[in-house]
Structure 1
């Protein structure tokens, strides 16, 4: 009998609690974060032993709000993925452009540091060495040529002087030979004249 009374009081108390909860407005709302909505539902729920009694309507609304938030997060995540893919493509394009610029810069530096010499790229230092070597050889050749020309001029003058002396000697020899020839001619004529006179 006491057991029946206890069950009766328990049912009566449970009906009053349910009636009071039915008269209360819904505790869950679309406002606030999901965490705040969970806290509000837990705060407004009734205790029964170690359990919490939550209104089905609040639980459904909380579930709907949670699902809406998850859907929003998924949409935002997808948008971020699209943006990330777009940014990734932009970064890849920029990296490719950077590689092209680096290659062009390297070629420009190489062209700046090299000189085309006989169709072959040569470094500026080697080119300078070749050019100064060539200039030095040409200058040495010019100096040797000048000395040779001076020597040749001196030799030419000496030869000219010698030729003048030889011409003078030859002229002198011709004159003496002519004189000798004339003298011999006269002597020969004298002898002829002597031979041609009649003897007395």
Structure 2
């Protein structure tokens, strides 16, 4: 692609040089010799350029110019070829440098990736906590511990409230038992007193009966 871009410029410059040279020849009144023409007769077939390379187009251009113009074209072609070779050498060197830098970047990227993996592995080991043979991260361990603390706290609150209810119920039952016990004791005392009274009355009646029977 670079050749195709440079070749038209080269041909344009050479064409201008040829036109300038031909104009100079006309002004000087110099008659061009027949032997210097690139073709022998008017009926001769013009050569066709089949080589599209820079060297091929240069050779084709020589067939279209006079002999006295060819040294100028050859010098220009040599300078142009040298410049092109220098540019190609610089491009090759740049590509080599780019390839070397790309390899260095890939190497550094690989080393950075390995270091990141080592750091990640180290952080994972530092962040790891084992409990009952199971591995946990610090975040998971803290979450588990706080969950257990909250769970035990809720259970304790439930037990406390339940115990308070049971305690109130127990106090009520104890009070009720005491009241029933007092009532029973009072009833028992009354029954005992009544039993004694009935026993005395029975004994009195027996005594009266004995007196009547003359005992």
Partner of 2:200: 175
Mean Cα deviation higher: 79-88 or 162-171:
79-88
Post-superposition offset of 1:90: 3.8
Compare relative contact order (CA 8 Å, sep 6+) and give the higher one, 1 or 2. 2
Partner deviation per Cα, 1:110-141 (whole Å, 9 max, x = no partner): 3144228xxxxxxx37962x543443233222
CA offset digits 1:154-194 (Å, max 9, x no partner):
1101110110111111122222222322332233234xxxx
> Is 1:143 matched with 2:176?
no
Residue 115 of structure 1 corresponds to which residue in structure 2? 148
Match in the other structure for 1:186: 211
Pick aligned residue for 1:53 from 59, 75, 79: 79
Q: C-alpha distance in 1, partners of 2:67/2:175? A: 148
Deviations 1:28-80 (A, max 9, x none): xxxxxxxxxxxxxxxxxx8x4xx672685x87676556544432332221111
Structure 1 length-normalised TM: 0.51
Q: In the alignment, which residue of structure 2 is the partner of 1:104? A: 137
Deviates more, 1:101-110 or 1:174-183: 101-110
Q: Which sections of structure 1, spanning at least 5 residues, go unmatched?
A: 15-45, 117-123, 191-200
Pick closer, same or farther for the CA change 1:55–1:166 going to 2, 3 Å. closer
Return the alpha-carbon distance in structure 2 between the equivalents of residues 140 and 152 of structure 1: 18
Q: Which residue of 2 aligns with 1:84?
A: 109
Name the CA distance, whole Å, in 2 between partners of 1:97 and 1:152.
70
RMSD of equivalent CA atoms: 4.3
> SS state of the match for residue 114, structure 1?
helix
Matched pairs, number: 146
